[in-house]
A and B are shown apart, each in its own frame.
Chain A
């Protein structure tokens, strides 16, 4: 059976495990019909021209793994940012692990979507925010249809969350190939501040497909810093759909570090619903083998006097392929918009590929929008210069790649995250850096 048919057919089984007499379930059911109509995206769709999901749709995925698998903390500690205190929301095969987590209801809610769905006190937030900005395309609809578990974060007005929140999704693959569909809802009220670190980590060599959806609401004067660490095993694929709505004077940054996995598709969408908003989208991609990473970004400037800053760096080794499809949409009303987009790529091999497609649709006449896209190789003169000073070629290359990625790294606000990313890069490049850039 094709994955689409299997998903649709499994819906009855899914319904038996949840409360179907709710408004949410109406949303789900509608989304399922939508997905049934649309199916999985094919390369015929403009937005999927360079990314084919065919190879990962053919597995016989276990859709609702129900074995409770325990993980020893010692075995997975390395996947956490563990040298600082953090809140943690950890899922194992899509199920909440209270043992590995550290949630709170003290002055804010850092907990589970399943709890938010079922408890009356969360009803207003769910009604106002759940599935309000997620675009109903094929994959988001599919996620909505099965939305039952994920992260629920609600930071009330003026609360500055004193430590970062880590969201980790582990997959054990105990039941062969596994498909997961986490659904996250994050509501950050006026003048609140939160930092979030997210990771998907497969602990198996079995195939994993994660189709994740997150909706993030950033109210006036609020600040959200989001860090995504994508360094998964080579059989794990991720489709990460993120929808962010910002109100006036808010700042939201998303850093995406894509270092591994099979197929990774990041659909990152920003909607600016007020004035004086700053949206920051940054990414470093370093991949090899036959890995594929696709960054598909949208910044929709709806109101005047807002900014957006995009900076994506990519280093492609061996036969890896990358896509950068960055769209900036400026409405007629959005005068005085400053929108910057930068996408620089280095191809380390003759067989690596990058497809870069900046798209600017500007309907206002008094704006500053720039985009710059480069594709090149490492600078041989720079390599010779460094070698001449006694730095071996391999290290010189690594140093140049670090330097290349550094404009993205230096805007990371959590030092431990920066350190971790630096370490992952060093490991990937097979060098030992004597310093942090």
Chain B
């Protein structure tokens, strides 16, 4: 599904990603782990098309479509979803209005009519129940004054609404208490299918206890220095990252 080859990216001439190769197939869950500053979030942003980074080399393909030259919204229309580490607050736009706009823009890009209000409401009801989101929450301004946990749940709620092919969860577990972590993880698990794929970016093993990865990759200094199965995450939890640094 996702094929990344020799990805290099920099910000203000400072190289952050230094040749990443990654292939993610439909139905798979990949975890990207690594110490602070390794380039994990940069990788997520670059896949999503952030203009804050310059992609200097390599290719990113999603189901054979080259994403490299596409604007962030076009990548979203192709099925890329990024759950932000720090979701942006947008005062004045309610969660409902925002998701409605997002869904209809995605439909428009596919040549579809707006989703009928009745269907949209039904879907909102269904997906908010999945993430145990209060109805009142939906009429609040997007992320404004939300707790860390509410923001992350709202990200996964949007993911549920948009049903992307590839979901990248950037530190979705940070700022979550045990209950919220369980809700978010079970939400992601329910959304998983043989037709989509998930990349989980995390420091810690704890989210991976709930969402079992098929592959674990360790990113260090802009490169994937080690790949393995779920047991690699446990090993990292136990031994820390120092031994990884020696591999690089």
A residues within 8 Å of B by Cβ?
379-382, 384-393, 395-396, 399-400, 402-407, 434-435, 437
Known A399-B101, A434-B100; contact A391-B73, beta-carbon cutoff 8 A: yes
From B72, B92, B93, B114, give the contact of A388 (CB < 8 A): B72
* Residue from the set A387, A389, A434 with the largest chain B CB neighbour count within 10 Å: A389
A405 CB contacts on chain B under 8 angstroms: 92
Question: Closest Cβ of chain B: how far from A402's Cβ, in Å?
Answer: 7
A406 CB contacts on chain B under 8 angstroms: 91-92
* Residue from the set A392, A402, A406 with the largest chain B CB neighbour count within 10 Å: A392
Known A399-B101, A434-B114; contact A379-B88, beta-carbon cutoff 8 A: yes
B77 CB contacts on chain A under 8 angstroms: 390
* Residue from the set B50, B73, B81, B162 with the largest chain A CB neighbour count within 10 Å: B73
Asked if B93 contacts A390 (CB within 8 A), the reply is no
Known A389-B158, A389-B162, A391-B101; contact A384-B72, beta-carbon cutoff 8 A: yes
Q: How far is the CA of A386 from the CA of B98 in the complex (A)?
A: 9
From B52, B90, B92, B102, give the contact of A390 (CB < 8 A): B102
Question: Closest Cβ of chain A: how far from B146's Cβ, in Å?
Answer: 14
Q: Is B82 an interface residue (CB 8 A)?
A: yes
Q: With contacts A385-B90, A396-B73, A434-B101 known, what are 14 further pairs, Cβ within 8 A?
A: A380-B51, A380-B52, A382-B90, A384-B48, A384-B50, A387-B49, A387-B72, A389-B162, A391-B73, A399-B93, A403-B141, A406-B91, A434-B100, A435-B100
- In B55-85, which residues have CB < 8 Å from any A CB? 71-73, 75-77, 80-82, 84
B104 CB contacts on chain A under 8 angstroms: 434
Q: Could you show 15 A-B contacts with beta carbons less than 8 Å apart?
A: A380-B51, A384-B51, A384-B52, A384-B72, A387-B49, A387-B72, A387-B76, A388-B72, A388-B80, A390-B105, A390-B109, A392-B105, A393-B71, A395-B101, A395-B105
Q: How far is the CA of A400 from the CA of B76 in the complex (A)?
A: 19
Asked if B93 contacts A403 (CB within 8 A), the reply is yes
9 interchain residue pairs of minimum CB distance: A403-B92, A406-B92, A387-B72, A390-B76, A389-B102, A390-B106, A385-B88, A387-B73, A382-B88
* Residue from the set B80, B81, B98, B101 with the largest chain A CB neighbour count within 10 Å: B101
A381 CB contacts on chain B under 8 angstroms: 88
| Closest A residue to B72 using CB positions | A387
B82 CB contacts on chain A under 8 angstroms: 388
B88 CB contacts on chain A under 8 angstroms: 379, 381-382, 385
Q: How far is the CA of A185 from the CA of B162 in the complex (A)?
A: 56
Question: Closest Cβ of chain B: how far from A378's Cβ, in Å?
Answer: 11
Asked if B87 contacts A407 (CB within 8 A), the reply is no
Q: How far is the CA of A407 from the CA of B141 in the complex (A)?
A: 12
B50 CB contacts on chain A under 8 angstroms: 384
Question: Closest Cβ of chain A: how far from B116's Cβ, in Å?
Answer: 12
Q: Is the interface of A mostly helix, strand, loop or mixed?
A: helix
A391 CB contacts on chain B under 8 angstroms: 73, 101-102, 105
Mark each residue of chain B from 39 to 53: 1 if its CB lies under 8 Å from any CB of chain A, else 0. 000000000111110
From B48, B72, B75, B92, give the contact of A404 (CB < 8 A): B92
B75 CB contacts on chain A under 8 angstroms: 388
Q: Is B97 an interface residue (CB 8 A)?
A: yes
Asked if A385 contacts B84 (CB within 8 A), the reply is yes
Question: Closest Cβ of chain A: how far from B124's Cβ, in Å?
Answer: 14
B114 CB contacts on chain A under 8 angstroms: 434
A380 CB contacts on chain B under 8 angstroms: 51-52
Question: Closest Cβ of chain B: how far from A146's Cβ, in Å?
Answer: 43
Question: Closest Cβ of chain B: how far from A404's Cβ, in Å?
Answer: 7
Asked if A407 contacts B92 (CB within 8 A), the reply is yes
Asked if B97 contacts A390 (CB within 8 A), the reply is no
B73 CB contacts on chain A under 8 angstroms: 387-388, 390-393, 396
Q: How far is the CA of A225 from the CA of B80 in the complex (A)?
A: 48
Q: How far is the CA of A400 from the CA of B93 in the complex (A)?
A: 8
B101 CB contacts on chain A under 8 angstroms: 391, 395, 399, 434-435
Known A379-B88, A384-B51, A435-B100; contact A389-B93, beta-carbon cutoff 8 A: no
Q: How far is the CA of A38 from the CA of B51 in the complex (A)?
A: 55
Mark each residue of chain B from 151 to 163: 1 if its CB lies under 8 Å from any CB of chain A, else 0. 0000000100010
B90 CB contacts on chain A under 8 angstroms: 382, 385-386, 399-400, 403
Q: How far is the CA of A329 from the CA of B158 in the complex (A)?
A: 48
* Residue from the set B51, B100, B114, B158 with the largest chain A CB neighbour count within 10 Å: B51
Question: Closest Cβ of chain B: how far from A66's Cβ, in Å?
Answer: 48
Asked if B162 contacts A390 (CB within 8 A), the reply is yes
Question: Closest Cβ of chain B: how far from A393's Cβ, in Å?
Answer: 7
- In B116-132, which residues have CB < 8 Å from any A CB? none
Q: How far is the CA of A393 from the CA of B51 in the complex (A)?
A: 12
Q: How far is the CA of A399 from the CA of B98 in the complex (A)?
A: 9
| Closest A residue to B79 using CB positions | A390
Asked if B92 contacts A435 (CB within 8 A), the reply is no
Question: Closest Cβ of chain B: how far from A372's Cβ, in Å?
Answer: 15
